[in-house]
């Protein structure tokens, strides 16, 4: 369970920084909407990040949240440094949210298989929250640029 939590800790810290990267660098006609949306994504991920890290420690482990550990352990694709368009950021961030959401959903089953209902419940909340963020980001793919 501790390993499962730490893998997701690395992923979600990476994901949060990807949302910030989008928040800082997005440009174009939908600037203010996207700038604010990407910040909201980063903010909401922070709460899940804390829950995941603290659960690893509650179970007797060490939360591996340093930038070096995250860089080594994250399973997300590296976020490009040269994106500017809203479309580009939406596509990359949606992909990362979907990838992380799928992994959180799989973690629900893993935790349940090991009869850890509390960790399963934690991942259920994370999965539901990430689904909502994914919907909010993807909804912008229909916006004209
Ligand atoms: Fe900001």
- Tens of pLDDT, residue by residue, the chain (145 residues): 999 999 999 999 999 999 999 999 999 989 999 999 999 999 999 999 999 999 999 999 999 999 999 999 999 999 999 999 999 999 999 999 999 999 999 999 999 999 999 999 999 999 999 999 999 999 987 655 5
Task: Count CB-CB contacts under 10 A for residue 35.
Answer: 17
C-alpha 20 to ligand 1 mean position (Å): 8
C-alpha 110 to ligand 1 mean position (Å): 36
Could you give the CA distance from residue 23 to residue 17 in angstroms, rounded to a whole number?
A: 9
Q: How would you class 69 by CB atoms within 10 Å of its CB: exposed for 0-12, middle for 13-18, buried for 19 or more?
A: middle
The radius of gyration of the chain from alpha carbons, rounded to an integer in Å, stands at: 15
Q: Is 102 helix (H, G, I), strand (E, B) or coil?
A: helix
Could you give the CA distance from residue 9 to residue 65 in angstroms, rounded to a whole number?
A: 7
C-alpha 24 to ligand 1 mean position (Å): 7
C-alpha 121 to ligand 1 mean position (Å): 31
């Amino acid at each position: 369970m501790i390993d499962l939590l730490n893998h997701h800790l690395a992923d979600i810290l990476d994901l949060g920084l990807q949302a910030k990267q989008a928040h800082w660098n997005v440009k174009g006609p939908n600037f203010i909407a996207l700038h604010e949306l990407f910040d909201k994504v980063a903010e909401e991920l922070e709460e899940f990040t804390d829950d995941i890290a603290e659960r690893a420690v509650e179970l007797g482990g060490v939360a591996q949240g340093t930038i070096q550990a995250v860089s080594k352990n994250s399973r997300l694709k590296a976020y490009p440094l040269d994106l500017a368009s809203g479309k580009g950021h939406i596509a990359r961030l949606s992909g990362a949210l979907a990838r992380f959401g799928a992994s959180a959903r799989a973690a629900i089953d893993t935790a349940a298989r090991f009869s850890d209902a509390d960790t399963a419940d934690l991942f259920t909340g994370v999965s539901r929250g990430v689904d909502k963020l994914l919907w909010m980001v993807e909804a912008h793919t229909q916006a004209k640029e």
